[in-house]
Amino acid sequence: MNCPYCQNPNSRVIDTTHDARGGIRRRRECDSCNQRFSTYERPIINTPLIIKRNGNREEFDREKLLHGMRIACAKRPVSASEIEQLVTTIEASLQKIGRAEVSSRIVGDMVMSNLKQLDQIAYIRFAIVYLHLNDLLAIRTEIDRLLEV
């Protein structure tokens, strides 16, 4: 692992911890400049290609999903770790499906169902974009549907 400060390729592992998602956090010290830094390792498991509405296919992008959910949850009482956990859950569900390709609709529906349980305002924010709710009547209809349950 190259040191982010001096780019020296040699470093020592000082401490190793495991997180709840199966990743490994390593605390390292550079042999050259003695600066300390952390690295994170997480297993790479194949996720299916996502088939977009227009028919294009693209790789599942965890960061893109995380970004969209952060926007929906902005200024809401939802912690970053809760959002991270939801993204991890969705990613794991996609891997368990076992197909080479899945519709973006499946991913969107997973996000919607998880956000509905986590925070209803974040759910509505995400739904406005995901369901293309273009006017107040459509938004009100979705809110009414949410309140019925």
Q: Are 13 and 27 spatial neighbours (Cβ–Cβ below 8 Å)?
A: yes
Percent share of the chain, pLDDT over 90: 67
Average pLDDT on 81-110 reads: 91
**Chain segment 62-74, per-residue pLDDT in tens:** 999 999 999 999 9
Task: Give CA–CA dist 47/96, Å, rounded.
Answer: 9
Q: Which two tokens stand for residue 126?
A: 């995400």
User: Alpha-carbon distance 124 to 33, whole Å?
Assistant: 50
Mean pLDDT, residues 13-31: 88
Using CA atoms, how far apart are residues 65 and 86, in angstroms rounded to an integer?
10
Per-residue pLDDT band at 21 (split at 50, 70, 90)? low
Whether 28 has a pLDDT exceeding 90, the answer reads yes
Would you say the C-alpha torsion 115, 118, 119, 120 has a positive or negative sign? positive
C-alpha span between 38 and 4 (Å, rounded): 10
Is 99 in contact with 49 (CB distance < 8 Å)?
Answer: no
Q: Where are the domains of the chain?
A: 11-41, 49-148
Please tell me which residue, 149 or 98, carries the higher pLDDT value: 98
